[in-house]
């Protein structure tokens, strides 16, 4: 029961870490208490995108006439839509099982607890406890839906993302509290399927981490699609004693009461740091997350932490990158630190939102003199052919050296386009180099080149 590397948790942090460790020749084990693939594959990234795809297809069917086709009225059975999403998640989880076998990684099912002396105890479903020893123990136990004291989740009327992904029947109305990526994606899905959705956001803008212009545009688009949005508003209390939910919402104009069948709390996540032995081993935490250095070493040698359990961006691709960096460093390779300023963020509502780097406000606050270029998708031939002209691309360059400081996009398909900006920024590409990189026609990606050209007064199509 001795391993070089023991990974606790099999989310995109844990399973990717285990594969990279095995590739590097380490004898590796991964411990999982629920389903291989973690939140991302089972209750996060993947099943939400499956639901959003069903909603998009439904939308297209109902808008067949916009494409010169005969009018059709789409219809669906809600449980089948949920079932498809669960099927996609299960298929992906099975894929991880295959990858573990392929890479000769031992999968240990059970609940792990770290112990002193680089030991891990695992309690299986029958309550049997087995002890394992590892030269390096990597904790990747992830996170869960955050519960606010005034918004306790009962799993039925006040729910978190797990229930929102597996409701037995479609609610007629829903209040979504929080308008980060998770809240907005669910709001878009349920609204498209016909639920009356109201989003309540504490901050002045929805998707508050995004560039202000993008947030404002998304708010307009979502309102147009029928979602009610309240910003600068907070849910003070909920009453579930009646048929549905009554939420008291504090607004600038005083308190109002919203009523709905269901309230989805999407106010962030809480890291799974409890009952995993951190205190016993002496691993330090702060504000509910495990403290690590730039190589993901905790305060106790031999123990590491990556992914949602540490205070970096809570994204699947960040968790994976941290795990790879961590094991490559353990191997003694020459490793680059992760540049947390060049992490793309995507929201898969319609229109989609994608961004990387500084917002306009952040660039100005940092003292940059900037050049900003914008290109509307209404001027893109491909977007027009697609019938998806809502949105724009915004790029921000440093006026002095041409450094690409930020890229902010809203529109159909932009989540697949943002990687261009990530790679270009990694390679320290300048604005002019983007303009001179010939983009294929017709693609929506041309809008990036055009936005860059707009920043330098060279735009062609507007």
Ligand X SMILES: Cc1cc2nc3c(=O)[nH]c(=O)nc-3n(C[C@H](O)[C@H](O)[C@H](O)COP(=O)(O)OP(=O)(O)OC[C@H]3O[C@@H](n4cnc5c(N)ncnc54)[C@H](O)[C@@H]3O)c2cc1C
Residues annotated within the binding site for NAD(+) are 178-185, 201, 268
Among 28, 48, 85, 205, indicate the residue that binds ligand X (CB under 6 A).
48
Burial class of 442 by CB neighbour count within 10 A (0 to 12, 13 to 18, 19+): middle
Catalytic residue, candidates 217, 317, 439, 441: 441
In contact, 184 and 67? CB cutoff 8 Å: no
Q: Would you give the end-to-end CA distance of the chain in angstroms?
A: 66
- Of 216-224, 293-301, 309-317, 367-375, which part binds ligand X (CB under 6 A)? 309-317
Q: How far apart are CA 199 and CA 305, in angstroms?
A: 34
Q: How far apart are CA 45 and CA 347, in angstroms?
A: 10
- Of 44-52, 149-157, 246-254, 370-378, which part binds ligand X (CB under 6 A)? 44-52
Q: How far apart are CA 50 and CA 91, in angstroms?
A: 12
Among 38, 171, 178, 406, indicate the residue that binds ligand X (CB under 6 A).
38
List beta partners, residue 173: 196
If binding is defined by CB under 6 A, does position 106 make contact with ligand X? no
Tell me whether residue 346 or residue 453 sits nearer to ligand X (CB atom).
346
If binding is defined by CB under 6 A, does position 40 make contact with ligand X? yes
DSSP for 406-446, please give it: EEEEESTTGGGTHHHHHHHHHTT-BHHHHHTSPPPSS-TTH
List beta partners, residue 383: none
Sequence-separated (6 or more) residues with CB below 8 Å from residue 47: 85, 86, 88, 89, 165
If binding is defined by CB under 6 A, does position 54 make contact with ligand X? no
Tell me whether residue 90 or residue 248 sits nearer to ligand X (CB atom).
90
DSSP for 78-139, please give it: HHHHHHHHHHHHHHHHHHHHHHHHHTTPEEEESEEEEETTTEEEEE-TT--EEEEEEEEEEE
In contact, 112 and 276? CB cutoff 8 Å: yes
In the annotation, is 441 catalytic? Answer: yes
Tell me whether residue 207 or residue 452 sits nearer to ligand X (CB atom).
207
If binding is defined by CB under 6 A, does position 308 make contact with ligand X? yes
Among 5, 29, 39, 96, indicate the residue that binds ligand X (CB under 6 A).
39
If binding is defined by CB under 6 A, does position 140 make contact with ligand X? yes
| Sequence ranges of the binding site for FAD | 49, 308
Tell me whether residue 45 or residue 363 sits nearer to ligand X (CB atom).
45
- Binding map of ligand X across residues 168-187, x = CB under 6 A, - = no contact: --------------x-----
If binding is defined by CB under 6 A, does position 307 make contact with ligand X? yes
Tell me whether residue 344 or residue 391 sits nearer to ligand X (CB atom).
344
- Of 38-46, 204-212, 223-231, 283-291, which part binds ligand X (CB under 6 A)? 38-46
* Residue located via tokens 């052919």: 385
Tell me the C-alpha to C-alpha distance, in Å, between residue 39 and each of 160, 278, 335, 340, 438: 13, 21, 28, 22, 39
Phi, psi (deg, nearest 5) at residue 44: -135, -110
Among 24, 27, 34, 403, indicate the residue that binds ligand X (CB under 6 A).
34
Cβ burial 183-199 (10 Å sphere, 16+ → b, else e): bbbbbbbbbbbebbbbb
In contact, 285 and 273? CB cutoff 8 Å: yes
- Binding map of ligand X across residues 349-388, x = CB under 6 A, - = no contact: ----------------------------------------
- Binding map of ligand X across residues 274-293, x = CB under 6 A, - = no contact: --x-----------------
Of 201, 251, 255, 252, nearest in space to 223 by CA = 201
CB of 264 to ligand X, least distance (A): 10
CB of 369 to ligand X, least distance (A): 33
If binding is defined by CB under 6 A, does position 312 make contact with ligand X? no
Tell me whether residue 321 or residue 405 sits nearer to ligand X (CB atom).
321
CB of 228 to ligand X, least distance (A): 21
CB of 33 to ligand X, least distance (A): 4
Q: How many of the chain's residues bind ligand X (CB under 6 A)?
A: 34
Tell me the C-alpha to C-alpha distance, in Å, between residue 214 and each of 191, 292, 319, 405, 452: 20, 33, 26, 16, 17
Strands 111-115 and 106-109: unpaired
Tell me whether residue 111 or residue 191 sits nearer to ligand X (CB atom).
111
- CA–chain centroid gap for 47, Å, is 12
CB of 345 to ligand X, least distance (A): 8
Among 4, 32, 297, 446, indicate the residue that binds ligand X (CB under 6 A).
32
Tokens of 385: 């052919």
CB of 159 to ligand X, least distance (A): 12
If binding is defined by CB under 6 A, does position 141 make contact with ligand X? yes
Tell me the C-alpha to C-alpha distance, in Å, between residue 442 and each of 66, 380, 459: 20, 8, 16
Tell me whether residue 161 or residue 304 sits nearer to ligand X (CB atom).
161
Active site residues: 441
In the complex, the residues that contact ligand X under the rule CB under 6 A are 8-14, 31-34, 38-40, 44-45, 48, 111-112, 140-143, 161, 182, 272, 276, 307-308, 314-317, 319
């Amino acid at each position: 029961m001795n391993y070089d590397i023991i990974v606790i948790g099999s989310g995109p942090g844990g399973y990717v870490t285990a594969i990279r460790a095995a590739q590097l020749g380490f004898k590796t084990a991964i411990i999982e208490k629920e389903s291989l693939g973690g939140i991302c594959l089972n209750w996060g990234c993947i099943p939400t995108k499956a639901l959003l795809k069903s909603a998009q297809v439904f939308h297209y069917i109902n808008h067949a006439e916009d494409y010169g086709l005969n009018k059709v009225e789409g219809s669906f059975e809600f449980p089948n839509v949920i079932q498809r999403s669960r099927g996609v998640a299960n298929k992906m989880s099975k894929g991880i099982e295959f990858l573990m076998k392929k890479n000769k990684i031992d999968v240990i099912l059970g609940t792990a607890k770290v112990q002193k002396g680089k030991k891990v105890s695992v309690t299986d479903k029958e309550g049997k406890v087995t002890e394992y020893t590892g030269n390096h123990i990597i904790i990747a136990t992830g996170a869960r839906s955050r519960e606010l004291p005034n918004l306790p989740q009962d799993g039925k009327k006040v729910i978190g993302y797990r229930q929102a992904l597996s409701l037995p029947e479609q609610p007629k109305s829903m209040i979504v509290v929080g308008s980060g990526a998770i809240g907005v994606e669910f709001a878009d899905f349920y609204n498209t399927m016909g639920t009356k959705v109201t989003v309540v956001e504490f901050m002045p803008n929805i998707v508050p981490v995004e560039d202000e212009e993008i947030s404002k545009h998304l708010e307009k688009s979502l309102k147009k699609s029928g979602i009610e949005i309240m910003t600068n508003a907070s849910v003070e209390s909920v009453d579930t004693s009646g048929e549905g939910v009554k939420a008291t919402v504090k607004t600038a104009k005083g308190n109002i009461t919203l009523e709905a069948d269901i309230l989805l709390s999407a106010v962030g996540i809480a890291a799974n740091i409890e009952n995993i032995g951190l205190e016993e081993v002496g691993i330090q935490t702060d504000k509910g997350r495990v403290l690590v250095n730039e190589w993901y070493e905790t305060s106790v040698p031999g123990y590491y932490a990556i992914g949602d359990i540490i205070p970096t961006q809570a994204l699947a691709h960040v968790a994976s990158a941290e795990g790879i960096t961590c094991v490559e460093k353990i191997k003694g390779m020459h490793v680059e630190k992760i540049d947390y300023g060049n992490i793309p963020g995507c929201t898969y509502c319609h229109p989609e939102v994608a961004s990387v780097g500084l917002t306009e406000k952040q660039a100005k606050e940092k003292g940059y003199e900037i050049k900003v270029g914008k290109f509307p998708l209404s001027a893109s031939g491909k977007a027009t052919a697609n019938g998806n002209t809502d949105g724009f691309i915004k790029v921000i360059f440093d006026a002095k050296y041409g450094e690409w400081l930020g890229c902010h996009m809203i529109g159909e398909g932009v989540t697949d386009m943002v990687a261009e900006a990530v790679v270009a920024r990694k390679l320290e590409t300048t604005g002019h180099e983007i303009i001179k990189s010939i983009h294929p026609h017709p693609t929506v990606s041309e809008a990036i080149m055009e936005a860059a050209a707009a920043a330098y007064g060279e735009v062609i199509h507007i």
